[in-house]
């Protein structure tokens, strides 16, 4: 084999090696993009499934609630939630218990003299970073007959 033939074969081998390396890099990048998309789709499906579960839990809670006052809780944005009296009577001396892990020390938005039918009140949960919010919100009130009531609602999860 002549030196020119040997040099030509080496050049061809080098070009093939570079071509294989470029193909491997492009393939790895394509695979990473595909994996990222799959992870994003999985996270979205998980959030949607969690939202659906909250809806089912709320429907069950509403079905088992006292008929005079029926509560519904909804996430508004950030740490803000709404509590709505879906029933046909006014709830008196309403207290919202969101757990001890909250930074909400004001308390003013956690107690209400009265919440009428189809009326909503808003409150700020005020959880700080790294704290897991409780699964339930406990609502206590007095009905029109003067009887004290308590109801537990599952907390909807906001955009996490």
Is 101 a domain residue? yes
Q: What is the pLDDT of residue 109?
A: 65
Is 114 a domain residue? yes
Residue numbers of the domain that contains 106: 65-154
Q: What is the pLDDT of residue 139?
A: 94
**How far is 138 from 78, CA to CA, in rounded Å?**
20
138 burial class (0-12, 13-18, 19+ CB within 10 angstroms)? Answer: middle
Is 58 a domain residue? no
Total domains, the chain: 1
**How far is 91 from 22, CA to CA, in rounded Å?**
70
Is 118 a domain residue? yes
Q: What is the pLDDT of residue 107?
A: 47
Task: Please check whether residue 69 is in contact with residue 143, taking contact to mean a CB–CB distance below 8 angstroms.
Answer: yes
Is 119 a domain residue? yes
Question: What DSSP designation does 70 have?
Answer: -
Is 76 a domain residue? yes
Is 74 a domain residue? yes
Instruction: Tell me the CATH number at 87.
Output: 2.60.40
- For residue 44, the Cα-to-chain-centroid distance in whole angstroms is 11
pLDDT in tens, the chain (160 residues): 788 888 887 888 888 888 878 888 888 888 888 888 877 887 777 777 777 777 777 676 656 555 679 899 988 887 788 999 988 889 999 999 887 555 554 445 689 999 998 899 998 876 665 666 667 889 999 998 899 999 998 877 654 4
**Reported pTM:** 0.53
Is 110 a domain residue? yes
Q: How many CB atoms lie within 10 A of CB 35?
A: 10
Task: Please check whether residue 152 is in contact with residue 98, taking contact to mean a CB–CB distance below 8 angstroms.
Answer: no
């Amino acid at each position: 084999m002549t030196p020119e033939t040997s040099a030509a074969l080496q050049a061809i081998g080098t070009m093939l090696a570079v071509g294989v390396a470029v193909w491997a890099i492009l393939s790895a990048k394509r695979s990473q993009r595909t994996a990222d998309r799959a992870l994003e789709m999985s996270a979205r499906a998980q959030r949607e499934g969690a939202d659906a579960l909250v809806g089912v839990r709320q429907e069950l809670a509403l079905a088992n609630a006292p008929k005079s006052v029926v509560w519904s809780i909804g996430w508004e944005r950030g740490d803000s939630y709404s509590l709505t009296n879906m029933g046909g009577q006014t709830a008196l001396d309403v207290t919202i218990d969101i757990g001890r892990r909250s930074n909400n020390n004001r308390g003013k938005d956690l107690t209400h003299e009265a919440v009428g039918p189809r009326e909503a009140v808003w409150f700020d949960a005020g959880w700080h970073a790294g704290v897991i919010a409780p699964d339930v919100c406990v609502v206590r009130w007095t009905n029109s007959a003067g009887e004290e009531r308590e109801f537990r609602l599952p907390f909807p999860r906001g955009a996490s």
